A and B are shown apart, each in its own frame.
Chain A
Amino acid sequence: MAAITMNHIVKRYGDGFPAVNDVSLDIADGEFMILVGPSGCGKSTLLRMIVGLEDITSGDMLIGGQRVNEKSPRERNLSMVFQNYALYPHLSVFENIAFPLRLAGTSDAEVKKRVQDAADVLELREHLERKPANLSGGQRQRVAMGRAIVRQADAFLFDEPLSNLDAKLRGQMRTEIARLQRRLGVTTVYVTHDQTEAMTLGDRVAVLRKGVLQQVASPRELYEQPVNLFVAGFIGSPPMNFLPATVQGAALRTPFGDLHLDDRRAKAVAGHDLVIVGLRPGHFEDASLVEEDKRRHGSVFRAMVDVTEWLGDQQYAYIPFEAPAEITAQLRDLSRELDSDQMRTQAIVEIDAMSRLREGREAEFWVDTRKAHVFDPKTGTNLTRDAEAGARMTEEVAQERAEQLTETREGRVTAG
């Protein structure tokens, strides 16, 4: 087990394209770190540099305090689960899992014991003699995991290990990976572009955009205190709504009426004229269902409901709005970059499932302004981010994690 430290890591491919650009990241011993970002942002490249399959153009990579830039993959003692699993088709499941042990020259009896232990954890006992080609997707995935956990690696690296599975199996394997990692307490770096995996698995999540690190924080901090428009739009599903607004003292004039800001945020936006307001779908509600004492924390506005989607325990409404040309262009670029097909000139709002809104009619909505974020449209920076509150959230997770880790390790010492 070891911490992984990256200092100003840069990767340029042959054509000079910087796939990873000046990334500095500290991954603590035993931590579960998620790398997330849209397709082509350099996640796999970064992971492959950690494991040693890709040369590092500049910067330092440290594993357990040792500089490993020039070390070959086998000297780094990491194990990796590839996106397509990369199982050896000519070997049985047993030999696939045993492969790293055989290379290390482990004795037959020890190999047998370790492989069977791993197979028990992953419920692969009855498949050990089969060939990978005859297994289902989920079973192959578990064989790949088995090969990763069978030896005492310093860290686990996963490159979108669940992307080849169907939705149900993905959910199942996700919890399994989480449980396994907590149990083993091994440093883990996990690449994904799946929201749910990023939010549920990681202690911390690193968001990459075009090879540049945007923010590293606990899922909760990313969600509540994003540093910029990109992170705000990337994290959360359905995504955050971005409305154009003009600053009028302590109020923001938006297509949905005026929003009032508290002192801290009013001060932060002072001096700006045109801004973008970010409001999560969950910050809205059907005004008729909001109690009086809650109402004063937000503003009420009337708008046309275009479409509603009723999902049983939730309901979404789509509200179109007008935006000035310069903001529309900015939002269009953003949604293209985030691979989202959603039109950014309509707001998605989440309302109570009991609400009886009608499509094509006007309705009255309430929006909670306490959690609104305000972004600079030119740079995309979050003007109203509360860094302290964010740091507190991430700190809490780190503490929780440290306690858990001590417990696991103590537990293992007594058990072993």
Chain B
Amino acid sequence: MMGAMSTRERVLWYLGALAIVLYALFPVAWIISLSFKSQGDLTDRNFLPRNPSWGNYETIFSGSARDLFLPALRNSLGICLIATFVSVVLAMFAAYAIARLDFPGKRLILSTALVVAIFPAISIVTPLFNLWRGIGLYDTWPGLIIPYLSLTLPISIWTLAAFFREIPWEMEQAAQVDGATSWQAFRKVIVPLAAPGVFTTAIISFFIAWNDFIYGISLTSTEASRPVPAALAFFTGASQFEEPTGAITAAAVVVTIPVVVLVLLFQRRIVAGLTNGAVKG
């Protein structure tokens, strides 16, 4: 496609892409810059910090915000990983059935998933709050994992079902003719073909859970289960007249890191898997 473009067109494309990248990355760069500024320099109207320092990071890792931030980071990681794992495993079974089998109620499942996905979280938070307090799930890990599943499962089922439909299932039969047992055919042929789809879905699920704020702030009250986005709201400055901007930006940078790492780690696999290509000519 690129080859068919004239130089002029290509330059325009690159300019456009550059504009979008700048637009998207500018706030990130700003937050990084802020996180390296000292309290006094925050409003110095300078993009680059004058005296870059690790002060804000020290605050959240070993200073005053430490008891707020570190447990929150642990909660976020644990809860999101578990929610992602459970959601991907369940979605894999569901999507496999949807892609491979014909059973009554197939469309019902898919449309229900869609309805759940578009249902605003804010409208169920209050009833959930009351219910969780009643049954003792309030301020616990499962108390967040369950609502997170409601956010991640529908999208996981949809993405995986779409992905599984693309897998040429004739491969499985070819493998069986080549002498594989059903299990070997699944493990040596279907799993490698499905893996990129599963990774993609896992990453999407993880992001959704990681970014959640509403459930995190409403269904927790202590560091027993409060995730990072909610914990940021509880940061305080050195005095009560001081905004904790520095600490918040440092924490924001820290929570962005896992996301970036995940994408860098798996983008290769995802792209490689998607471009491995069709079977037919």
Which residues of A line the B interface, CB within 8 A? 51-53, 72-74, 77-80, 82, 84-90, 99-100, 103-104, 131-134, 136-137, 140, 147, 151, 164
Contact = CB atoms under 8 A, between A and B. Distances in A.
Contacts of A136: 281
27 contacts: A52-B177, A72-B176, A74-B179, A74-B180, A77-B179, A79-B177, A80-B177, A82-B173, A84-B168, A84-B279, A86-B170, A86-B174, A88-B175, A88-B189, A90-B192, A90-B193, A99-B178, A100-B179, A103-B175, A103-B184, A132-B277, A132-B279, A133-B277, A137-B281, A147-B178, A151-B179, A164-B281
A203 B176 CA distance: 29
A167 to B, nearest CB: 14
Given A86-B168, A133-B278, 16 more contacts: A74-B180, A74-B181, A82-B173, A84-B279, A85-B280, A86-B173, A89-B278, A90-B276, A103-B175, A103-B188, A104-B179, A131-B276, A131-B277, A132-B277, A132-B279, A133-B275
A257 to B, nearest CB: 51
A132 B174 CA distance: 15
A84 B170 contact: yes
B171 interface: yes
Contacts of A134: 277
A103 B179 CA distance: 6
Contacts of A77: 179
Interface in B187-202: 188-189, 192-193
Contacts of A86: 168, 170-171, 173-174, 279
B173 A53 contact: yes
A85 B177 contact: no
Contacts of A131: 276-277
A87 B279 contact: yes
A133 B278 CA distance: 7
B176 A73 contact: yes
B178 A100 contact: yes
B176 A53 contact: yes
B176 to A, nearest CB: 4
A89 B276 contact: yes
A248 B192 CA distance: 72
A104 B184 CA distance: 12
A82 B174 contact: yes
Contacts of B168: 84, 86
A72 B170 CA distance: 16
Contacts of A132: 277, 279
Nearest to B192: A90
Q: Which 8 A-B pairs have the closest CB atoms?
A: A133-B277, A86-B174, A137-B281, A100-B178, A103-B179, A73-B176, A90-B192, A89-B276
B198 to A, nearest CB: 14
Q: Is the interface of B mostly helix, strand, loop or mixed?
A: helix
A46 to B, nearest CB: 15
A89 B180 contact: no
Among B174, B181, B188, which residue has the most Cβ atoms of chain A within 10 A? Answer: B174
A84 B280 contact: yes
Nearest to A102: B188
A89 B193 contact: yes
A85 B279 contact: yes
B279 A103 contact: no
Given A53-B177, A103-B180, A133 B276 contact: yes
A88 B279 CA distance: 8
Given A86-B168, A86-B173, A88-B189, A164 B178 contact: no
Nearest to B277: A133
A151 B179 CA distance: 10
Interface in B120-174: 168, 170-171, 173-174
A133 B279 CA distance: 7
A82 B175 CA distance: 11
Contacts of A84: 168, 170, 279-280
A35 B140 CA distance: 66
B171 A88 contact: yes
Contacts of A88: 171, 174-175, 189
A72 B176 CA distance: 8
A60 B95 CA distance: 37
B255 to A, nearest CB: 34
Contacts of B277: 89, 131-134
Contacts of A147: 178
Contacts of A100: 178-179
A73 B185 CA distance: 12
Contacts of A52: 176-177
Contacts of B275: 133
A93 B222 CA distance: 57
Contacts of A104: 179
Nearest to B273: A90
Nearest to A54: B173
A80 B281 contact: no
Interface string B248-281: 0000000000000000000000000001111111
B188 to A, nearest CB: 8
B176 A74 contact: yes
A53 B188 CA distance: 19
Contacts of B281: 136-137, 140, 164
Contacts of B171: 86, 88
A53 B174 CA distance: 9
Nearest to B184: A103
B184 A82 contact: no
Nearest to A164: B281
Contacts of B170: 82, 84, 86
Contacts of B180: 74, 103
A90 B192 CA distance: 7
A153 B259 CA distance: 50
